[in-house]
């Protein structure tokens, strides 16, 4: 079946939390509590196949021009189906609709984001992220993620 991407709903919160917990348990991303997911629900998208949630992602906004693809996770059973790409496309559309002109991602899989038009940038070029979120991260002093950025074409 073809995956569909839609805005997250309240009933999706437990599954989003479970997906993020699975990825966070082995250090692939930072976990988010169900209360944090709930408070940011309008920024989340989910992917589903046959009514079952198989992926999630969110948009984090830092400034009037900068956002981030965050909490991107796809159920391992559904890798290589284009779900991550579809969710990133939807998150980018959300960013554009909110007037953002740049979007970033901190990732362990730069090849994925490179295929979507992102380029590697230095963490120092993203003070909004570093001083807004990273400073409270347990990996702050030893961050091993790769920062990537894409310029969005405003309509």
SS3 content of the chain, % helix, strand, coil (to 5): 40, 30, 30
User: pLDDT tens, 86-145?
Assistant: 999 999 999 999 999 999 998 888 999 999 999 999 877 775 665 456 555 556 566 667
Number of domains in the chain: 1
Q: 47-75: string of b/e by CB count within 10 Å (b at 16+)?
A: bbbeeebbbbbbbbbbeeebbbbbbbbbb
User: pLDDT tens, 81-92?
Assistant: 999 999 999 999
User: pLDDT tens, 28-78?
Assistant: 887 789 999 999 999 999 999 998 999 999 999 988 999 999 999 999 999
- CATH number of the domain that residue 129 is part of: 3.40.630.30
* Domain of residue 15, residue span: 4-151
E strands, the chain, in order: 4-7, 44-49, 52-61, 66-74, 102-107, 119-120, 146-151
Read off the pTM: 0.89
């Amino acid at each position: 079946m073809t995956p569909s991407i839609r805005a997250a709903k309240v009933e999706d919160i437990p599954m989003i939390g479970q997906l993020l917990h699975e990825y966070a348990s082995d250090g692939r991303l930072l976990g988010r509590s169900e209360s944090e997911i709930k408070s940011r629900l309008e920024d989340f998208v989910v992917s589903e196949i046959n009514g079952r949630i198989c992926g999630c992602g969110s948009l984090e906004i830092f400034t009037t021009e900068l956002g981030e693809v965050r909490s991107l996770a796809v159920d391992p059973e559904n890798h290589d189906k284009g779900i991550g790409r579809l969710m990133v496309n939807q998150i980018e559309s959300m960013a554009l609709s909110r007037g953002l002109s740049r979007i970033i991602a901190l990732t362990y899989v730069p090849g994925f984001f490179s295929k979507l038009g992102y380029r590697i940038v230095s963490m120092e070029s993203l003070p909004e992220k570093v001083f807004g979120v990273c400073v409270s991260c347990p990996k702050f002093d030893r961050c091993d993620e790769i920062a990537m950025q894409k310029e969005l074409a405003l309509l």
